[in-house]
Amino acid sequence: MLFDKGDEQDSDVEEENNEEQFDEDVELYSNVLKKILPDIVVSLEATDDFVCDKAMRDQNNDSRLDEEVVLKRLNEFRTNDGRDVSPLNFFDELDIHPLIVPVKDNTDYSMKASYAAVALRMGRPCRYGKLMDRIEAAEKKERKELEAMRVKEEKALKELEKMMQEEREDKMEYWLYALMQEEEEAALAAAGEPMRNYLINHIFPTLTPALLEAEYLFKLNPTGKMLEPGYNLQAEKLLGKIKILDDALKDLDIKIDPLLPPECEVEDPKPHTINPMSAL
């Protein structure tokens, strides 16, 4: 026998010592938990579209994942991350209620909305002494860039306003000139209205038939001899026929005295074009 059978009773002192040691262990465990456990737990819940888009656009990963691989891993994660097996239950049991922040916007890669929700609960991040110089340099650079951008925008705005002002002045000059021309034309039309009515009512009814008659007479006698005092139309026709006969006798080489004396020869009329509206 390795151990003898003990008939004596256990002492109460040993039980009290064991309970005191257990209480000390529980207290020590609680103190350790208080030191290592966080005060706030944040959980980001992203949609499937956001996760897929983020995974396929990840530039830090050399080998980009295919859509099938991403969907497979996402499905496995959703299956193993149920409410019953979620690590958030551990914090709930310790009265540390996690902050659930939804992530839905695929275009918000800087996650400004999520950062604002977390900062509202936790406050702004602390600035450590080692990072103060870098933070101040970054803020100074950002201020310079904003100032340069503002100056550039003001310059572009002034140039645009100047160009629009010049264009407006040019258009205003053109509009004023066109308006002045219209007013002058209206004034001339109003001033010439009595003369126009006089010509239409009194002059043109008499002038138009006379011009038509003159055009007809000029067509009959383009040389203008019809207006001479000694002109005779029948004699002019007879002389023309005699000249034609004399020309025919000359072509036949018949020696005979010409029927028309040399002093009565009539020159061929030269064609003369009369503009019907030249008399106007």
Give percent above pLDDT 70 in the chain. 67
* Collapsed DSSP state (helix, strand, coil) of residue 94: coil
Give the separation between CA 212 and CA 280, rounded to whole angstroms.
12
Structure tokens at 220: 């009959």
Hunting for tokens 């021309």 — which residue is that? 181
What DSSP element (H or E) covers 101? strand 99-103
What DSSP element (H or E) covers 198? helix 132-198
Return the minimum-mean-pLDDT range out of 96-105, 131-140, 250-259, 263-272: 263-272
CA angle 132, 138, 143 (to 5 degrees): 125
Q: What is the pLDDT of residue 153?
A: 92
Say yes or no to pLDDT of 242 above 80: no
Structure tokens at 178: 């066109």
Hunting for tokens 């072509």 — which residue is that? 251
Structure tokens at 1: 């026998």
CA max distance for the chain:
197
Domain ranges (residues) in the chain: 23-125, 199-264
Our CA dihedral for 211, 217, 220, 224, rounded to 10 degrees, sits at -110
* Mean pLDDT computed over 47-73: 74
| Tens digit of each residue's pLDDT (9 = 90 or more) over 187-222 | 988 888 888 888 888 888 888 888 888 787 777 666
Give the separation between CA 257 and CA 11, rounded to whole angstroms.
191
pTM of the model: 0.34
Contact partners, residue 259, CB within 8 Å, separation at least 6: 242, 245, 246
* Collapsed DSSP state (helix, strand, coil) of residue 44: strand
| Tens digit of each residue's pLDDT (9 = 90 or more) over 112-154 | 788 888 888 777 766 666 677 787 888 899 999 999 999 999 9
What DSSP element (H or E) covers 99? strand 99-103
**At 26, phi and psi to the nearest 5?**
-65, -45
Give the separation between CA 187 and CA 180, rounded to whole angstroms.
10
Give the separation between CA 221 and CA 233, rounded to whole angstroms.
10
| Tens digit of each residue's pLDDT (9 = 90 or more) over 97-113 | 888 888 877 777 677 78
